[in-house]
Structure formats: structure tokens, C-alpha cells
Amino acid sequence: MHLYDYELPDSCIAQEPLAARDASRLLVLDRASGALSHRRFTDLPEYLRAGDLLVLNETRVLAARLRARRAGGGAAELLLVRPLADGRWLAMVRPSARLTPGAEVTVVDGSGQVAGVAVVEERAGEALRAVRFPAADVKGLLERAGEMPLPPYIRRPAGATDRESYQTVFARVSGAVAAPTAGLHFTDALLTRLATHGVETARLVLHVGPGTFRPVQVANPEDHRLEAEWASVPAATAAAVNRTRGAGGRIVAVGTTATRALEAAARSAGGGAAGAVAVPPALAPFEGWVDLFIHPPFEFRTVDALVTNFHLPRSSLLLLVSAFAGRERVLAAYREAIDSGYRFYSYGDAMLIL
């Protein structure tokens, strides 16, 4: 068995969101002792202190999945990943073998009505193609015909309610094709409670790409390559991180995406991607592509605590959490969560690692 495998019954995979975002369960892991506590997400303020900084990823998920018909009448699907400078889009297409360069497909909306036309063009990577939309407003097309790109382990079509529930309450900057799921548990009321408690918040962006679901197939994580994702750590967030650290507060990352953005920014400012530094340099603003793959062993320069969901076996996200808290302790916590009936993955329950 792979070092980062674990057995998960299908019944543990959440297929629907809870009616109330913050009603999810919260498994609290002390990474020093391995101690576990079973709580509710609404208990989060009890674990954070005045002066701590909660860092949120305000990426917004595109309704990026388009249903289509091929010229011969067969079904097709386009999952738009990101726009290109020439107006085309990078996309994952199905069935890839039948959509040769120049193939035209008709995009349809939820009722089967024609919404637009797309032309599939050359390959642009291992699983991506360039797609052109002649005389089309792509943003308008996604609003009319796009579906939320729910991950494949949610075995139902995306519905109208997913446009809200698969989006954090603080989502602002469109560009992701998967939600930063640790953020899905927060409500405006909970954020207000945290602020009243003296916990500050800061925002950044990392647009989650489809590579987040790509499993680590190799035995040595050093041989795995992570797909680059665009990130921005603004000046105000960098200043808040530096102020918090200077005052002795903790940097609490909400999700693996916020963690990767912060740690990539720290390496951009401090030089070198590996090894510890005696005194972490001040965090500087950052904007660019991030392909930082965090796996054991790893020296975290910025993040002190982590709010996260439960992640797929062999996923880069599970390796990141294991780098933060230790593989054995994380997998032991997962076993406890499974035995205790926690809900897993995107619409599932949460962990807090301190």
C-alpha cells in the first residue's frame, strides 16, 4: 500500500452540503501531542486567540463545466480551466480522442437548448486542449449554460443550489475550478464572532486548478510535479502577517490553498525552496504562478495553524497536511474520523491542526 493510502467507505463521502455551513463537525488535532478533540465548527473561536490572524482564500469558483454535442450527435463535455492571452481557453475535454483539432461542438444549457459553439484545437499539455469560442461572450456563456465543477467523487449532477453552496461566503475573485473547501464552513456570523474575539482576518487568492485532484502515483514525492496555479498575496495581507508575527500571534491558514500561497510567498521573499531559516524574513507581497509541492519533510516559514478538510488518499493535499502535522498522526486522526462517522471531502467536515 502507498504510504498515503487509507481505506474509506463510500458512505463517508459527503454528497450534499449541510443546511448550515458551520454545522459541520470539527476534529481538533494537537500536532505536538497527537491529542484529538471532537467539536463543532462553531467552536472554532474557542481555539483561536486575540491577536491571531486568519488567512482566507477569496478565489471564486467558475461555473466552468459545459455540456455539449459533437457534430455526429454524441455527448461532449468541456471543463474550462483558465483563459489564454489570445482569447482562447485551456480546457479538459471529453471524449478527448474524438475531439481532434478543428472539431466543433455545440454547447447546450440545462434544458438542452443551444447556448453557443466551441472549437477544440491543439493539445496544450498532458490533459488540456485549447478551445476557441467564435463570437461568444464566454462569461455570459458560463452564466447561461455553465455548471459548477463538482469533483468526481460527488456522484450526482451539479444543481442550482451548488452555485451558492460550492462557493465560500467571502469568494470574490473568479478563476478557480474547485472550491477552497476549508472555507466552505465559514458564515458571516462566525467571522463576526471571531472578529469580536480579537481574531483578525486577511485575504489572498489562489485559483484552484484541476491538478488538485491528481493523485501522487510515485513512491518518491520528489518525482511528483504539481500543476502551477495563479496566486496573489497582496501588500495588506503581507503586512498583516508581519504585524501578527511581530506581536506573537499565530498565522492560521484556512485551507491548503492559503497555506501554499503563503509558503510560496515566503520563499519568494526569502530565497530557496528547501531548508529552514533561523529567522524567517518579513513576508513581501507576491503575485505569480505557484507550483510549490509541500510534502514531508518541509519547514513551514509562515503558517502556525491550519483549518482544513479531509483529503483524498495519495493526494498532494494529504501530503501537505502530513508535512504540517506528521504522517502517522494525520492518518491516525483520519482513522478516528472514519470510526466516528465524520463526513469526508469537499462537502464534508473539517479539521483544525494546532
Q: What is the pLDDT of residues 268-312, one digit of tens each?
A: 965 444 444 456 789 999 999 999 999 999 999 999 999 999 999
- Over residues 340-344, the mean pLDDT reads 98
pLDDT at 281: 83
pLDDT at 125: 72
- Cell numbers representing residue 228 in the block: 502551477
Chain position carrying cell 520563499: 267
How far apart are the C-alpha atoms of 49 and 217, rounded to whole Å?
Answer: 39
156-194: b (≥16 Cβ within 10 Å) or e:
eebeeebeebbbbbbbebebbbbbbbbbbbbeeebbeeb
Q: What is the mean pLDDT of the chain?
A: 94
- Cell numbers representing residue 38 in the block: 471532537
Where in the chain are the domains? 10-61+165-353, 65-145
- Cell numbers representing residue 41 in the block: 465548527
pLDDT at 270: 54
CATH fold of 65-145, please?
Thrombin, subunit H (2.40.10)
pLDDT digits (tens, 9 = 90+) for 3-12: 999 999 999 9
Task: Flag whether pLDDT at 179 surpasses 50.
Answer: yes
Q: Considering only CA atoms, give the Rg of the chain.
A: 21
- Residue 105's DSSP bridge partners are 70, 118
- pLDDT top residue among 136 and 182: 182
pTM for this entry: 0.94
- pLDDT top residue among 257 and 281: 257
SS3 call for 70: strand
pLDDT at 221: 85
How far apart are the C-alpha atoms of 138 and 133, rounded to whole Å?
Answer: 7
Q: What is the DSSP string of 77-139?
A: EEEEEEE-TTS-EEEEEETTTT--TTEEEEEE-TTS-EEEEEEEEEE-SSS-EEEE-TT--HH
How far apart are the C-alpha atoms of 272 and 280, rounded to whole Å?
Answer: 12
Is the Cα dihedral 258, 262, 268, 273 positive or negative? negative
Task: Flag whether pLDDT at 154 surpasses 50.
Answer: yes
Q: What percent of the chain has pLDDT over 70?
A: 96
pLDDT at 223: 86
Do the Cβ atoms of 295 and 234 come closer than 8 Å? no
pLDDT at 232: 98
The matching CATH number, chosen from 3.90.1150.10, 3.40.1780.10, 2.40.30.10, 3.40.50.300, for 10-61+165-353 is 3.40.1780.10
For residue 341, the tally of other CB atoms under 10 A from its CB is 10
Task: Flag whether pLDDT at 126 surpasses 80.
Answer: no
pLDDT at 211: 83
Task: Flag whether pLDDT at 184 surpasses 60.
Answer: yes
pLDDT digits (tens, 9 = 90+) for 29-71: 999 999 999 999 999 999 999 999 999 999 999 999 999 999 9
Q: What percent of the chain has pLDDT over 90?
A: 86
For residue 204, the tally of other CB atoms under 10 A from its CB is 26
